[in-house]
Structure 1
Amino acid sequence: MDRVRDLASKKAAVIFTKSSCFMCHSIKQLFYELGASPEIHELDQDANGREMEYALRGLGCTPSVPAVFIGGKYVGSAKDIISLHVDGSLKQMLIDARAIWF
């Protein structure tokens, strides 16, 4: 769990994903379209991915991927991120965390 927290706090925007997850791909694309360059951790391609997935679940990430952290804080999964984008607050969160500049 400490490794997940450490990785999540190193960059302004961090997304834990799996390469085979279509929602993970959609969330990554959304961040790129907003001008962010999130740090991506593909759990299925990391030697410690299974342990990190369990740690994410322990932190309340349900489902475990995509798990989005902005400014070192867990923001949510795909459903939460899409809701934040629709109501316009995702962009402001990224600006506040200095993941994008406008």
Structure 2
Amino acid sequence: MAKLSASSGSVLLSLQFISLLVTLFLVSHSGSVEAKSKSPSSFVKKTISSHSIVIFSKSYCPYCRRAKSVFKELEQVPYVVELDEREDGGKIQDALSKIVGRRTVPQVFVNGKHLGGSDGMAYESGELAKLLGIPSTVKEDL
């Protein structure tokens, strides 16, 4: 009878362990299911409002690389959404286009403000540093 009890105990322990694994699996994947159910437009808006610096980018784009390098020079870490590395990247780019009025990348946001692409960031003028609240590296001519 003791062997039956030990055997039953180990079966019960195995079932509890499997139940725990299934529960952890479901909990960890429920967030991704929820994220996929959100519209691309709400994803864009939530991303912009949740991060101080956001760059919607494509990993192979030289203009996107330039925009990311500007923040690296300023020792700032942007939240980067690489549209070409996401299944829903095209839909996000469509939503972004409706929000900002252009489909090109990069699209840069600082503190919720749309700065445009890599040429519209006003890096050389010191305006970007001012928006970020950091000292400007621009030297004024005397």
TM-score under structure 2 length normalisation: 0.63
The corresponding residue for 2:118 is: 78
Structure 2 counterpart SS, 1:85? coil
The sequence identity of aligned pairs, in percent, is 32
Among 62, 66, 72, the alignment partner of 2:102 is: 62
Q: Paired residue for 1:92?
A: 130
How many angstroms does 1:29 deviate by? 0.6
In the alignment, structure 1 residue 4 sits paired with structure 2 residue 4: no
Whether contact under 8 Å (2:55, 2:107) holds in the other structure is yes
- Name the amino acid aligned to 2:127: S
8 A contact 1:61–1:67 mirrored in 2: no
For the residue of structure 1 that corresponds to 2:90, the secondary structure is helix
Q: Kindly indicate which of the two structures has a greater share of residues assigned to strand.
A: 1
Q: Secondary structure at the match of 1:30?
A: helix
SS in 2 for 1:19: coil
- The alignment partner of 1:16 has SS state of strand
Q: Count how many residue pairs are aligned between Structure 1 and Structure 2.
A: 95
Unaligned segments of structure 1, at least 5 residues = 96-100
Q: CA 1:21–1:87 in 2, change beyond 3 Å: closer, same or farther?
A: same
Instruction: Give the structure with the larger helix fraction.
Output: 2
**Higher Cα Rg: structure 1 or 2?**
2
Q: How does 1:20-35 map to 2 (within 5 A)?
A: 20-35=60-75
Determine the C-alpha separation between the residues in 2 that align with 1:63 and 1:78: 14
Question: By how many angstroms is 1:75 displaced?
Answer: 1.6
Instruction: Check the 8 A contact 2:94/2:103 in 1, yes or no.
Output: no
Relative CO higher for 1 or 2, CA cutoff 8 Å, sep ≥ 6?
1
Task: Describe the SS at the equivalent of 1:74.
Answer: strand
Unaligned runs of at least 5 residues, structure 2: 1-40, 136-142
Structure 1 counterpart SS, 2:104: coil
